[in-house]
Amino acid sequence: MTTASTLDTTRFGSGQAVQRLEDAQLLRGEGRFADDFAPGGLAHLVFVRSPHAHARITRIALDAARALPGVLAIYTGADLVAAGVQPLPGPGMKRADGSPGASPARHALAHEVARFVGEPVVAVVAESLQQARDAAEAVWVQYEELPAVVDVQDALTAGAPLLTPAAPDNIAAEMRHGDAAASARAFAQAAHVVRLDLTNQRVAAVTLEPRALLAWVAPEDGRLTLRISTQMPSGVKKQVCACLGLASSQVRVVVGDVGGGFGMKTSAYPEDVATAWAAWQLKRPVKWVAERGEEFLSSAHGRDVRSQAELALDTEGRILALRLHSQANVGAYATPTGVAIQLLIGPWVQTSVYDIAPIDFHFQAVLTNTAPTGAYRGAGRPEAIYLMERLMDEAARQTGMDRVLLRRRNLIRPEQMPYTNAMGQTYDCGRFEQVMDQGLALADWDGFEARAAASLARGLWRGLGLATFLEWTGGNAFEERVTVTIGADGVVEVFSAVNAMGQGIATSLAQLVVDAFGIPLAQVRVVLGDTDRGDGFGSAGSRSLFTGGSAVRIGAERTIEHGRQLAAEALEASVHDVQYQAGRYQVAGTDLGLTLAELAARQSDARIFMDSTSAVAGPSWPNGCHVCEVELDPATGALRVLDYASVNDVGRVVNPLIVRGQLDGGAVQGLGQALCEAIAYDPASGQLISGSLMDYALLRAEGAPPFRHLLDETTPCLNNPLGVKGVGELGTIGAAPCVVNAVADALARAGRADLAPRLQMPLTPGRLWQLLLQPRV
């Protein structure tokens, strides 16, 4: 017999394409973002930012600004330092000589020296936003300009301007991985050596909602409360406490709707610390909301890595060794995230789905007079996979091997699982050849020649691109806490410290609650974003469902078991005789029972409560095969992505609608890097010349191809009880190498294989046209 609750579970449980619960409110304009709150007595903060890439601050005149109407306070870097406000954390890794990682101290407001254009120097607080803007314009700062450097290679040149005396070579941190001697022997014996110099250009995480913060001292308890747009509320709380010298009990962070994060909103910024300080001092609400230009200037940028990559192969095309030397431009201040991404996290997946050993990796984090870099969707993995997949295609061209066969010959086999790669990372499972075969079939790989001929008849060069790859997810933060509360109304409320930022996580968590309790979706409430309810790592590294969902599953099971004991007491039965199904406890073989609501109502506080902390066993390793086709107009350099097919092993799928949306969105951002996006600084002045959406090109809907995604659920993750693998960054990781390899293929088919190694992102029409004009080598 099929019950109503069984139908609810079937329709709304995991595996079902449930419409996102968050969408109705957002589509009606009822979202509650940080800037939507305006408490009484609200003051507004505006920053005066450095117009110079590198300058000593010699004098700040504030009298004129202070005399303007509505001005409440003006703070300088010297004021905050004198008050004991501490800098944000430094790189946390070491230099080559074993000394601590080097970086200038990053204060909430620049102190004595400004090190990049847009660095906040003065904070102005006034009654209204316009009054704060007027006063900011009246602040006069005298600078002594200093030599600046914005290019990573220039920064490593002898005599280059220095960012800090602690790094006389501008190298903030440095790491080596692998066996250099064994790699050298392999290269010496190789039948083929492929070398590429490749750049992952600097890009911006252009979130729909800019950074925003409202800070106030709560009158009921005197605590500093922050309502902020962030992915990681607990991390922000920890950093603000450390900078302001406050105890954890003195600070609360609350997050409502977040209009995108993409990794850029994973930590506290100087602006957050300064705004929190102003509210703490003034004892009134203070709000700061970034303008789009401020986001381009001072939010964390992504990527910006130059690499020299080499692959050694034998006569059969088997990879003998991989050698890599990368210089990452981490900006004016080396952040823990910005350094770890390039020196450690990216290298974890550098060998990808291929059986490669030995390796010789050398990574340097280099300081320049640019905005600091940090996490951006994929965070190190897109950079690494781009290098690997470009090398694989170039190896196929140079050796004359079929690129599919070359990959097939080097793929890690299922019987090698669990497999530990050359970086010491263990893949729990994976069927990479199976995924690749499905990807080739979905893309109609064998039918490409006819399509290429049709394009050529129109004077266009058609190319076919392939990327086979994996990624690491979990943030290496495997523990998560949830609370489960069942009220007298029968509603099951789950709180989790993972955070919503537009990815639909609340819906997926609710589906897992439906699975566990067998109740209607309408009976589930998911609450996120409040450090008073629970601290946790937050949402980053595609961990929200992988760790947060697993914690919900375990927490729900523990709650049901606890309820069974309470029901046994209430029904005067043995706990072993009490059964639970579809929202009701019942004594086996009788009609005695209680619903969740009835059982909760019997408790002293009219609720059933469970505080559950659990951990998954390790990271997940989602993987995929992405294939795309492009057309290149050799007369103009115009490029169009015609088709995009992907097969993705993301383990068990909780909500296919959300998964496909994540793959679409991720791929669009990867395509954006491949085709058009680039942060650019003037090398002479250090001025940002891509500081608006008029100058920084984002991919538009018309430039995105039709996406076809197949989800392979045959290889569930073994490291968590759900069997899920992260998906939020998979599309971004696969798209860029897939598209660039397609363009390289188009060039090779047209007789210009010599140009393929010289392809550098972004592949704008102007750059491609100039490349096509180069003489044959």
What CATH number is attached to the domain comprising 590? 3.30.365.10
For residues 557 and 653, membership in a common domain is answered with no
| Residue 147, CB-side half-sphere exposure with 13 Å CA sphere | 9
Domain membership flag for residue 555: yes
pLDDT, tens digit, 9 for 90 and up, residues 756-777: 999 999 999 999 999 999 998 7
Q: How far is CA 242 from the centre of its chain?
A: 24
Q: How many domains does the chain have?
A: 2
**Helix H or strand E segment including 657:** helix 656-675
Residue 185 zone, left/alpha/beta (φ > 0; ψ -120 to 50; rest): alpha
Alpha helix ranges (H) inside 176-321: 180-189, 233-244, 270-282, 292-298
Nearest of 83, 200, 59, 85 to residue 140 by alpha carbon: 59
Domain membership flag for residue 115: no
Q: What is the distance between the alpha carbons of residues 465 and 759, in angstroms, rounded to a whole number?
A: 14
For residues 592 and 738, membership in a common domain is answered with no
For residues 647 and 766, membership in a common domain is answered with yes
Of 564, 582, 615, the residue at which a domain comes to its end is 615
Domain membership flag for residue 660: yes
For residues 553 and 503, membership in a common domain is answered with yes
What's residue 2's pLDDT? 38
Domain membership flag for residue 332: no
Domain membership flag for residue 510: yes
Mean pLDDT of 485-498: 94
Do residues 520 and 5 touch, judged by C-beta distance below 8 A? yes
For residues 511 and 660, membership in a common domain is answered with no
For residues 603 and 530, membership in a common domain is answered with yes
Do residues 361 and 327 touch, judged by C-beta distance below 8 A? no
Q: How many other CB atoms are there within 10 angstroms of residue 591's CB atom?
A: 6
What's residue 13's pLDDT? 82
**Residue 771 φ/ψ, nearest 5 degrees:** -65, -40
User: Exposed, middle or buried: residue 764 (CB in 10 Å: 0-12, 13-18, 19+)?
Assistant: middle
Mean pLDDT of 169-175: 98
For residues 775 and 648, membership in a common domain is answered with yes
Nearest of 235, 209, 385, 382 to residue 299 by alpha carbon: 209
For residues 756 and 669, membership in a common domain is answered with yes
For residues 625 and 757, membership in a common domain is answered with yes
pLDDT confidence tier of residue 474, bands split at 50, 70 and 90: confident
For residues 482 and 447, membership in a common domain is answered with no
pLDDT confidence tier of residue 535, bands split at 50, 70 and 90: confident
pLDDT, tens digit, 9 for 90 and up, residues 106-135: 999 999 999 999 999 999 999 999 999 999
Domain membership flag for residue 112: no
Mean pLDDT of 192-198: 98
Listed in sequence order, the residues at least 6 apart from 682 whose beta carbon sits closer than 8 Å to its beta carbon are: 150, 688, 689
Do residues 554 and 741 touch, judged by C-beta distance below 8 A? no
pLDDT, tens digit, 9 for 90 and up, residues 295-347: 999 999 999 999 999 999 999 999 999 999 999 999 999 999 999 999 999 99
Of 585, 615, 645, the residue at which a domain comes to its end is 615
Domain membership flag for residue 163: no
Do residues 354 and 390 touch, judged by C-beta distance below 8 A? no
pTM over 0.85: yes
Of 596, 615, 634, the residue at which a domain comes to its end is 615
Q: What is the distance between the alpha carbons of residues 612 and 136, in angstroms, rounded to a whole number?
A: 49
Domain membership flag for residue 457: yes
Enclosing domain of residue 557: 4-31+475-615
For residues 750 and 663, membership in a common domain is answered with yes
Nearest of 602, 573, 569 to residue 588 by alpha carbon: 573
pLDDT confidence tier of residue 8, bands split at 50, 70 and 90: low
Mean pLDDT of 677-705: 96
For residues 500 and 571, membership in a common domain is answered with yes
- Residue 94: helix, strand or coil by DSSP? strand
Nearest of 322, 385, 360 to residue 732 by alpha carbon: 385
Listed in sequence order, the residues at least 6 apart from 457 whose beta carbon sits closer than 8 Å to its beta carbon are: none
Residue position matching structure tokens 């491949």:
674
- Start-to-end CA distance of the chain, whole Å, equals 74
